[in-house]
Amino acid sequence: MANISKRNRRREKEIANAAKNRREIIKAQLSRRDLMKAGLLTSAGYLIHKSGLSARAQFSGDCDRRWSSGWGGWGGGNGTPVSPPTTPFLEPMPIPPVAQPVAALTPVPTINPNTAGGEGRTRPHQAFAQFAPQKLYEVHQREQLISMHPQLPLQKLWTFNGTAPGQTYVARYGEPILVRNFNDLPTNNGGFGLQSVSTHLHNGHTPSESDGFPCDFFGQGKFYDHHYPNVLAGINSSHPGTGDIKESMSTLWYHDHRVDFTAQNVYKGLAGFYLLFNNFDTGNETTGFRLPTYPDFDIPMMFNDKNFDPDDGLLAFDLANRDGILGDKFLVNGKIQPFFNVKRRRYRFRWLNGGPSRFYRFYLTKSNLQNHPFWIIANDGNLLPNPIQTTTGAFIAVAERYDVIVDFSSFAPGSIIHIENRLEQCDGAGPGNTILPAGQGNKLLEFRVVSDAVNDQSVNPATNPSFYAMPTRIAERITRCFEFDRDNGQWVINDELFDCNDVRFKVKRNTAEIWKLDGGFNWSHPIHIHFEEHHVLKRNGNTPALVERGRKDVIRLGEGDEVEIYFRFRDFVGRYPMHCHNTIHEDHAMMLRFDIDDVGNNNEDDCGHH
Amino acid sequence: MSEVSRRKMLAALAVAPLAAGVVTQASSLKNLVGLQFPSPEKTEDASREKTRKKYFPNFELTTHEGKRVKFYDDLIKDKIVVINFMYAECKGICMPITANLKAVQKLLGNRVGRDIFMYSITLKPEVDTPEKLKHYVHMHHLKPGWTFLTGKPEEIEILRRKMGLYTSNTALDKDLTNHIGMVRYGNEARQWWAMFPGKANAPWIVESILWMDDKDAKDPHEGHDASKTRSKGVRTGSNKGGEK
């Protein structure tokens, strides 16, 4: 341990030195020619990765082949700041508190928007009478001083009821709820963030007016009633009254989705978990699927990477970055590199890549640098048909979720295991193909095995338990094609730009569609489609990997990838977006709007033309 | 990288006179672990000042009317602004964007020049003299409140990068005909900064710009229920094949 932390400190110092050196170079106004003569700048224009000069690259591996930063200082796109040093694993990982319902809301919730009463909603609830809320929640989105690390100053974060990540909703199928979100954000944003919000439940089977569509935002002093029916897809269509149990979801999250300002607002704290239980996924390891009991052994973990101003230690967001922000500090549930004590038994962890832009490949690294295998049981919050044991890590893009089962029973008390990201990524465009050797990636969390007595009645994934089978497919009504590209720095989908008022196509309610997504060159995008889960039919012409053969709501488009997905749009109508969930791309308009109605259209766009 | 090779590299680095200086500078750094930071800023001005320093150097620019102005003091401070880059002889993306921004200016009406200010900064300051930019304004029949700017080439290059309006791919970035079509918009006093695509639908751009007005930000949004008839909108004729 002592050696590790010493090495970490040295690395941290190198990072700080590199920042200082870069500042000196800029101050000295050295020309590129000078730098090249001195052997410090390559002809491609970035600083050579020698010790102390480009420690960021060294920190996360060898990024020479990419055009990483090089432009001095920050406040210039890729010129990200180098955060002050922090000692890893000083504090325990926080677990966001469970949201508690209130007895009543004043004024009483209404089907039509209560505009006179200060509500920012513009459309009536479409399923309020059918699924009357059984629980009411009152949430105030407000600023709160929060510590992200003891060696950094308190941060003025934007929170849901004072916590970031926000409080966790523990919801049950068949128990509709209503969440009243108040916008109590402060007038001074401290440098970034917009005091106008739209709170999205990712990826609830939620009527459009409660979805948190990017353009359904509401300003300071207003509130917005989000009605979450907590129903299974099919409830008003293919499986009347019950919904299709095979469409069950488990791990959802909610976050701000304000058009053009999502990255800033979420970076500032506006995100949290929403867990859905039912009679199979019960939250009790003695019943149903017997998954580890919530909350003791079922733990949500939100991963983020962020930057902090080297001069004042405050959370820093580069307003000029268009490619994707990569942080050099890694947070779990809002703390930089925390530790988490575990007993010698199985745990369910709900991993969420909370962004803003980075792709991870998580491994569990033992202190002898060997991998500890684990089981992926859910992709994007949806239980897979069966658990999948992984020895090659978990590849997770922004907004993707993996529920995993980790068994600590083989460890002696006092053992240390790290969640380590070994995927090299040098810029916001996307990750490379390099998987770093064990111990040389980014350690995000330290598990410490404690000696407490153990009782574990949870299912052993090695026995290959079955969860939900894949839902039955029906014939698709239409196939649509989407090509994601870039035109003079503007994101385009089928050559067109985003406009909240522009309905690009209409899906007919209660029908199925196939969408072919075609990624552009040189970029990786996690594409998210609201409202329904999709099946991945083909990736680059092939059957997708086992872990992708579940129900998903985020599809990773790597450089030039072509992915074919199947949807069935059921029950509700209204507007929804498809967008890149690299929140920086999203805020630079990598998005389109589609509507669901009872007619639909046959707008295939460019299908078959490429 | 192993410890040995790292040391070797450091040694190699120290040979160059410049690098030696760098290493000396670095060694004078105090141990930053556990450094105590000042408490979070108390006032609005602290973060505004930080943002100004990071993004808005106070360079002197010249308007198309020959007036000398300071970038931050005269153009940005306390204003709602819209900023893009162009050059007078640009035959590619500048044409549709100028045309589109002209439509935006028209829709914004007399607010442009009053509380909303539009700026276009030339990417070819060595060619685009104030006279030439004035000619451009006349040729396109642009109204007051939209100012075209030129200045020292090296300062304009810094401005462009501070705005984030460049491409990470160095080779592509040098190709002016392929320059970035994104447009910065914001409200300096409120520290609200974002971008829109210059070729987006003009009414949508106008909505975005109006969010920067305090009043509009506070009022409930009227929503987007009146989904208009689908028109094909702006086809951008994207240059396929991987801008980076």
| B104-123: burial string, b at 16+ Cβ within 10 Å, e else | bbebbeebbeeebbbbbbbb
CB half-sphere exposure, A77, CA atoms < 13 A:
27
Chain-chain contact of B224 with A217 (C-beta, under 8 angstroms): no
- For helices B202-211 and B94-108, what crossing angle results, to 10°? 60
Tell me, yes or no, if A26 comes closer than 8 A to chain B by beta carbon: no
**Does the pLDDT at position A459 exceed 60?**
yes
The whole-angstrom separation of Cα A385 and Cα A469 is 5
Residue B169 confidence (pLDDT): 78
Categorize the per-residue pLDDT at A235 as very low, low, confident or very high, splitting at 50, 70 and 90: very high
Range 187-216 of A in CB contact (< 8 A) with B: 188-192, 194-196, 215-216
What's the mean pLDDT in B94-122? 96
> By percentage, how much of chain B surpasses pLDDT 70?
69
Range 324-383 of A in CB contact (< 8 A) with B: none
**Does the pLDDT at position B142 exceed 80?**
yes
Closest approach of A489 to chain B, Cα-based (Å): 5
Q: Which of B1, B24, B29, B168 is nearest to A50 (CA)?
A: B1
**Does the pLDDT at position A327 exceed 70?**
yes
Residue B151 confidence (pLDDT): 98
What's the mean pLDDT in A287-296? 98
pLDDT in tens, B172-188: 888 888 889 999 999 99
Strands of the sheet containing A490-493, edge to edge, are A490-493, A476-487, A511-518, A562-569, A534-539, A551-552
Categorize the per-residue pLDDT at A605 as very low, low, confident or very high, splitting at 50, 70 and 90: low
Residue A35 confidence (pLDDT): 41
Tell me, yes or no, if A30 comes closer than 8 A to chain B by beta carbon: yes
Tell me, yes or no, if A314 comes closer than 8 A to chain B by beta carbon: yes
What's the mean pLDDT in B70-97? 95
Residue A369 confidence (pLDDT): 97
Residue B44 confidence (pLDDT): 57
Residue type at position A306: K
Local structure of B201: helix, strand or coil: coil
Q: Does residue A399 contact residue A526 with C-beta atoms inside 8 Å?
A: yes
DSSP B185-198: EEETTTTEEEEEET
Considering chain A, what is the average pLDDT of its residues? 89
Chain-chain contact of A196 with B194 (C-beta, under 8 angstroms): no
Q: For residue B236, which residues of chain A lie inside 8 Å, CB to CB?
A: 487, 490, 492, 495-497
- Which one is predicted more confidently, B13 or B171? B171
What's the mean pLDDT in A95-110? 98
Chain-chain contact of A321 with B164 (C-beta, under 8 angstroms): yes
pLDDT in tens, A85-99: 999 999 999 999 999
Closest approach of A582 to chain B, Cα-based (Å): 16
Categorize the per-residue pLDDT at A168 as very low, low, confident or very high, splitting at 50, 70 and 90: very high
Categorize the per-residue pLDDT at A6 as very low, low, confident or very high, splitting at 50, 70 and 90: very low
**Does the pLDDT at position B24 exceed 60?**
no
Hey, which residues does A339 pair with through a beta bridge?
A92, A446
pLDDT in tens, A483-497: 999 989 999 999 999
What's the mean pLDDT in A523-547? 97
**Does the pLDDT at position A539 exceed 80?**
yes
Categorize the per-residue pLDDT at B43 as very low, low, confident or very high, splitting at 50, 70 and 90: low
Chain-chain contact of A319 with B164 (C-beta, under 8 angstroms): yes
Residue A606 confidence (pLDDT): 62
Chain-chain contact of A122 with B225 (C-beta, under 8 angstroms): yes
Residue A80 confidence (pLDDT): 60
Residue of B nearest to A311 (CA): B37
Chain-chain contact of B190 with A189 (C-beta, under 8 angstroms): yes
**Lowest mean pLDDT: which of A27-31, A121-125, A379-383, A454-458?**
A27-31
Residue A205 confidence (pLDDT): 98
What is the interface pTM, i.e. ipTM, of the complex?
A: 0.87
| A562-569 and A534-539 strand pairing | antiparallel
Residue A521 confidence (pLDDT): 75
What's the mean pLDDT in A560-574? 97
The whole-angstrom separation of Cα A481 and Cα A475 is 17
The H or E element containing residue B63 is strand B60-63
Q: Does residue B180 contact residue B85 with C-beta atoms inside 8 Å?
A: yes
Residue A560 confidence (pLDDT): 86
Mutation target for B interface from A21, A149, A497: give the one with most B CBs within 10 A.
A497
Residue B3 confidence (pLDDT): 33
Other beta carbons within 10 angstroms of residue A7's beta carbon come to 12
What's the mean pLDDT in B59-70? 98
The whole-angstrom separation of Cα A2 and Cα A14 is 18
**Does the pLDDT at position A403 exceed 70?**
yes
Q: Residue A360 corresponds to which tokens in the numbers above?
A: 């991870």
Chain-chain contact of A522 with B242 (C-beta, under 8 angstroms): yes
From the list A195, A319, A489, which residue is nearest B182 (CB)?
A489
